[in-house]
Amino acid sequence: MRPIWQLIYEAKTYYRPLAGAVASIIACTAMNLIGPDLISKLIDLLTGSFSQGDIPRVRDLALLLLATFAGRAIFRLTGDYLAHYAAWNIVAEMRARVHDHLQKLSLRYYNDKQTGQLMSRVINDTAQFEILIAHAIPNILSSVLIVAGVAVLLLWISPLLTLLTFLPLPLILLFSLRYGKKIYPAYSLHQARLGDMSAVLHDNLAGLREIHLFGRQESASEKFRAQTCQWRDAVMSVAWLSGMYHPIVESILSAGTVIVVGIGGAMALDGALSIGDIVRFLLYLSLFYTPVTTLVISVDSLLQAGASAERVYALLAADATIKDKPDAVELTAAQGRLSFANVRFSYDEKGPVLDNISFEILPGQMVALVGPTGAGKTTVASLLARLYDPEAGQVKLDGLDLRDISLASLRNQISVVSQDVFLFNGTIAENIAYGKAGATREEMMEAARRACIHDFISTLPQGYDSLVGERGVLLSGGQKQRLAIARALLRNTPVLILDEATASVDQASEAEIQAAIQQLAGNRTLLVIAHRLSTVRRAHKILVLDQTKIVEQGTHENLLSQGGLYARLCACQII
């Protein structure tokens, strides 16, 4: 229940509409309670010594009843609107908050998470808050008010009959407590299964190309179907529990009606109660049963929202490990001196990916990082951009430990073109300008020219305003890479890291891009990670990474003459 209290506490920003909703609920309850009283008065009048002179009283009672019903409708509408207004605002804010938190969390957090699962928390779990705020809590409030009001009125009509009618209530309470214990885990499981199903759906849609290429549509369908079956089973277990609960509660409650009809009828015959009182008692009793059932359903929703709130707050409690120190330095224009000092880094308990790595890249130098696949080259780039922090040692820019520099200012000094280019669904211009807000068309075109993509863009009917499709599906791998290079060049940062940035580009274009990038070296620091060693021959220094260590470093000629790993790698590529 703690997450529910936390959510209710956080809803305080909407106290005005919520207070309005509460006031409307109270007014609506009052209207509900007045109705049976007016009807029984009418019956008393009609079954008593009714005369023509009583007609105005009948008319007044009817008009009052009409006003009560109209008032009830107006207050219900107002309460409903205000509660929904607050609820949907809270859901929207919560979704934005969870999204923003996800943006802040370090990459390490995502290592063991599935995108679909996280999407389910942002969309499905937060949707439960609307049910809580606009339905469960107002229903609980109005039910409690009606139950309390009706109990007082019933006691007032006949204390004996009331006590007899309420005999089954402790049974319902006991039963409800046991039910709560069973249904809460069932709701948690339901939300978890919903998350699993979203995760598989996300994988199957994102990996559609691979599914087609490997002819795995059937296995993808089976996987999704299996997940839907698990979700269905979880929903069915919730449906079974709540489906069983409601008829049982109703049956216990209906014992009350039997008692009123039997014992109340006998009391009326004895003259201890009037027919009007019996009718009033029965009308109030029917008012009493509905809220008791509603209360149960609402407690259900409350528990379901509790399970969702728990999942959402667990996500919000995850701490961003990569964050600014309170006294972080704002770097405005870095010189671009990069260094690793005895750096050790592991992704998990499997052991270090980098161990005791030290090197320095001077401003304006072009340094290449080469090595076998999986040696840790991309990891070096990630540490330089502070996507991760080292376990031991220091990564520095201009002699400052990256942990002492504000993240925003650090990222303003470094551009990284990654192996896997990600383009956003939008136009080519939007994707190039992504790295520099407010870039002019001219600047964008200049960057595109340097990345050898301008000519291609010019052939498109809509030029720079052409759409790239989701994740850039409308472009080839090489075109995407060139766009990503243009995006990085436009930023014009003192440090540029190219991680296999030209791997999908044909050799002629690669030579052109290399020449353009080479021109950049001199006034910026360049770290080039490449498998195609022909692209790194002119580097000031080549670092050779293998099995967590830098095993060789020097110029192309030096390293070739040493006849070590670099020479062997070059021999394989016959450069």
Ligand X SMILES: Nc1ncnc2c1ncn2[C@@H]1O[C@H](COP(=O)(O)OP(=O)(O)OP(=O)(O)O)[C@@H](O)[C@H]1O
260 by DSSP, 3-state: which? helix
Q: How far apart are CA 57 and CA 1, in angstroms?
A: 51
290 Cβ contact list (under 8 Å, min separation 6): 146
Q: Is 373 in the site for ligand X (CB under 6 A)?
A: yes
**Total residues in contact with ligand X, by rule CB under 6 A:** 13
Nearer Cβ to ligand X (158/378): 378
Q: Which is nearer to ligand X, 113 or 223 (CB)?
A: 113
Q: H-helix or E-strand containing 392? A: strand 392-397
x/- contact string, 308-347, with ligand X (CB under 6 A)?
---------------------------------------x
Binding to ligand X, residues 90-129 (CB under 6 A): 111
The Cα–Cα gap between 184 and 299 comes to 10
Q: What are the b/e assignments for 552-575, b being 16+ CB within 10 Å?
A: bbbebeebbeeeebbeebbeeeee
Residues 343 and 360: their CA atoms lie apart, in Å, by 12
User: Which of these, 240, 251, 256, 254, lies nearest to 179 by C-alpha position?
Assistant: 240
Instruction: Note whether 502 binds ligand X by CB under 6 A.
Output: no
Q: Nearest distance from residue 371's CB to ligand X, in Å?
A: 6
CA atoms within 13 A on the CB side of 341: 12
Segment interacting with ligand X, rule: CB under 6 A, options 36-44, 374-382, 429-437, 567-575: 374-382
Whole-angstrom distance, CA of residue 352 vs CA of residue 344: 7
> Under the criterion CB under 6 A, does residue 572 sit at the interface with ligand X?
no
- Judged by beta carbon, residue 300 or residue 499, the one nearer ligand X is 499
376 binds ligand X, rule: CB under 6 A: yes
Give the interface segment with ligand X, choosing from 67-75, 189-197, 372-380, 508-516 (CB under 6 A): 372-380
158, 378, 481, 502: which one contacts ligand X (CB under 6 A)? 378
Least separation in angstroms between CB 112 and ligand X? 9
Alpha helix segments (H runs only) across 260-404: 265-269, 275-317, 377-384
Instruction: Choose the stretch contacting ligand X; rule: CB under 6 A; options: 125-133, 314-322, 367-375, 474-482.
Output: 367-375
Which residues, numbered 393-452, are part of the site for ligand X (CB under 6 A)? 419
Nearer to ligand X by Cβ, of 140 and 375: the residue is 375
Binder among 375, 439, 495, 539 for ligand X (CB under 6 A): 375
The dihedrals phi and psi of 107, each to the nearest 5 degrees, come to -60, -30
- Our CB check for ligand X shows the closer of 166 and 347 to be 347
Residue 488 CA to residue 431 CA, distance in Å, equals 11
Q: Least distance in Å: CB of 509 to ligand X?
A: 21
Instruction: Please tell me whether residue 399 adopts helix, strand or coil conformation.
Output: coil
Phi, psi of 353 (to 5 degrees): -95, -35
In the complex with ligand X, the residue whose CB is nearer, 52 or 373, is: 373
> Considering only 252-260, 370-378, 398-406, 422-430, which stretch makes contact with ligand X by CB under 6 A?
370-378
- CB 393, min distance to ligand X, A: 16
- Give whichever of 267 and 497 is closer to ligand X, judged by the CB atom: 497
- Cα distances (angstroms) measured from residue 562 to each of 79, 360, 533, 535, 545: 82, 21, 16, 20, 15
Residues 6+ apart with CB under 8 A from 148: none
CB of 113 to ligand X, least distance (A): 11
Nearest to 450 by CA among 480, 486, 425, 497: 486
* Region of 52-60, 166-174, 257-265, 377-385 interacting with ligand X (CB under 6 A): 377-385
Least separation in angstroms between residue 405's CB and ligand X is 23
Q: Does 374 bind ligand X (CB under 6 A)?
A: yes
> Is 351 one of the binding residues for ligand X (CB under 6 A)?
no
Q: How far is the CB of 539 from ligand X (least distance, A)?
A: 17
- Under the binding rule (CB under 6 A), the answer on residue 377 touching ligand X is yes
Q: How far apart are CA 300 and CA 399, in angstroms?
A: 59
Binding-site ranges for ligand X (CB under 6 A): 111, 347-348, 353, 371, 373-379, 419
